[in-house]
Amino acid sequence: MPRWDKGPLIDAPRLTWRNWFAMLGPGLVMGGAAIGGGEWLMGPVVTARYGGGLMWLATLSILAQVVYNLEISRYALYTGEPIFTGKFRTLPGPRFWLTAYLVMDFGSVFPYLAANAATPLAAVILGEIPEASKHWITLDLVGHQYELTQAALMKGLGFAIFIGSLVPLIFGGKIYNALKAILTFKIVTVFAFLLFVAFCFSSATTWREILSGFVKFGTVPVHGSTDQLDNVFLSLWRGDGLPSVDFATIATLAAFAAIAGNGGLSNAPLSNYTRDQGWGMGYHVGAIPSVFGGQNIALSHVGMVFDVNAESLPRWHRWYRHLMRDQLVLWMPACFIGLALPSIMSVQFLPRGTTADEWAAAGMTADGAASHIGAQWGSSWGTLFWYLTLFSGFMVLAPTMASTIDGIVRRWVDVFWTSSARLRTWEPHHIRNLYFYVLAGYTVFGLTMLAVGKPLTLLKIGTNIMNFALGFSCWHTLVLNHVLLPRELRPNWFMRIALFLAGLFFLVLATIVVTKTSSDAIEEMRKWGWL
């Protein structure tokens, strides 16, 4: 890996009432991206069945990700490089980490957002929540009739949404700015609708259940019914011992924790966006432009660092406070609000114990909202809110697909751009070509997965790999920031312990799922006489 260049650290901008909007940075983009699969899919899937008692898993996940986000951006502020590039600078070297992270990134590449965003769109076309096996249309081709199910419609719409998500990544200049505009519109429209529904149609009991659920640490599903919960600590206090945990649901709960917030390696692009926003040493490095437009935008092959001295150190501390403000004031609240509001709707509008169908999870709240609101305001209002709920679900999922694709592509483009001696001979503005080649390769993979997979299946497979990836990445980042950063810029003891515990949380979740899945597989093989 080539050595860094050196340059001066510019001062952080001063926050005033006049420039507050211009101060919105990576936290806005990542906050908009965070309101996606975890918030609209797994949140309601879990709360419709169990109520708010398991929301504490999301609390731990989001807090752990805040620590991780701050630490990966710490590296980006100092070097102008994203965290992935920094990881390739550590032993045993780029070739080893290339293989390791390609395996771990496999959890993020499944296009489950496009697959699930097709459900509300199909519902609008059909006038009802789709059922996979239900008849849609009959085609007469060359004298043969072909029966197409509603699953075929949803697959076709999934393809269209996936391809549409590529548009802002190919056109428009700096990709980061295009995503920022799209996700800002998403946050405003979705939050406005969900807040209106939550305040006008949800009871105080529902609000209390969801909000208190964020701090009911140790509550777990137990055997006995589809929705029964118990608390580990209360059970021990009563002298009943550990409750009988229902491990049959552990994959769903781990998926819920995995994508509350961003999750997996999808957090890593925060450091890329910190660079593209021009924060810290990213000011000197540049950004990734789209293939068409942005001809004047280029990206240096190598990061740039500054000398730590009496002038630069106060500036560094101001940049880090600026980063903390972006995470604590914008990203973290967006995650909690974005998870709470859809969950409030599911608890209010769906019967307790409701389980999600593979294809209908993204639209299951709409029927409940239409019935509930229609009973209060009349059937026409119920129908209107049915459509609005579906539109909100589409707006949550579809734009996030664009940021997810960009995150996958850019973390590998940035690594190749710096680590490959051959690519370092390219002109800086040719980064757009490399981005397009990797994007085209991922497009083929994504369309293939949409053709063969089911929405919730893609979600569960992807997210449980994501837990392993994020847990390991937390520990790797901890090592990296102690090896590559000057002593004065390294994390303090609190952040070190917090990052270690964050990694442990995600790795324990992933290990429990793998253990349970392996045990089930062995039992199934014994039942069939294979063992």
Domains along the chain with CATH numbers: 5-527 (1.20.1740.10)
Query: Residue 32 corresponds to which tokens in the numbers above?
Result: 């908009």
Per residue of the chain (531 residues), what is the pLDDT tens digit? 889 999 999 998 887 766 666 556 677 777 776 676 556 766 677 777 888 888 999 899 999 999 999 999 999 999 999 998 999 999 998 889 988 988 888 767 778 778 778 888 888 888 888 887 888 888 777 667 778 888 888 889 989 999 999 888 887 667 877 888 888 888 888 888 988 988 888 899 999 999 999 999 999 888 766 568 889 999 899 888 888 887 777 777 777 787 777 777 888 888 988 898 899 999 999 888 877 765 677 888 899 999 999 999 999 999 999 899 889 988 898 889 888 888 888 888 877 766 655 445 556 788 888 888 988 888 899 999 999 988 888 888 888 888 888 888 988 898 889 888 899 899 888 888 899 999 999 999 888 888 876 655 656 666 677 888 999 999 999 999 999 999 999 999 999 999 999 999 999 988 887 787 666 656 655 666 655
**Spatial distance between the Cα atoms of 437 and 170, rounded to a whole number of angstroms:** 11
Distance CA 216, CA 219 (A): 6
Measured CA to CA, the distance from residue 128 to residue 130 in angstroms comes to: 6
DSSP helix/strand/coil, 286 = strand
Residue whose C-alpha is closest to residue 135's, from 116, 120, 153: 153
pLDDT value for 14: 80
Q: State residue 490's pLDDT score.
A: 97
pLDDT at 528: 61
pLDDT at 295: 62
Please answer whether residues 301 and 417 qualify as being in contact, where contact means their C-beta atoms are separated by less than 8 angstroms: yes
Amino acid at position 43, single letter: G
Rounded to whole angstroms, what are the CA distances from 422 to 98, 417, 427? 16, 9, 11
Pairing of strands 219-221, 229-231: antiparallel
Could you give the CA distance from residue 116 to residue 456 in angstroms, rounded to a whole number? Answer: 8
In the prediction, which pLDDT does 530 show? 59
**Separation CA 287–CA 289 (nearest Å):** 6
- Contact between 119 and 364 under an 8 Å Cβ cutoff? The reply is no
Residue 337, CB half-sphere, CA atoms under 13 Å: how many? 18
For the record, the structure tokens of 85 come out as 């590039």
DSSP 272: H
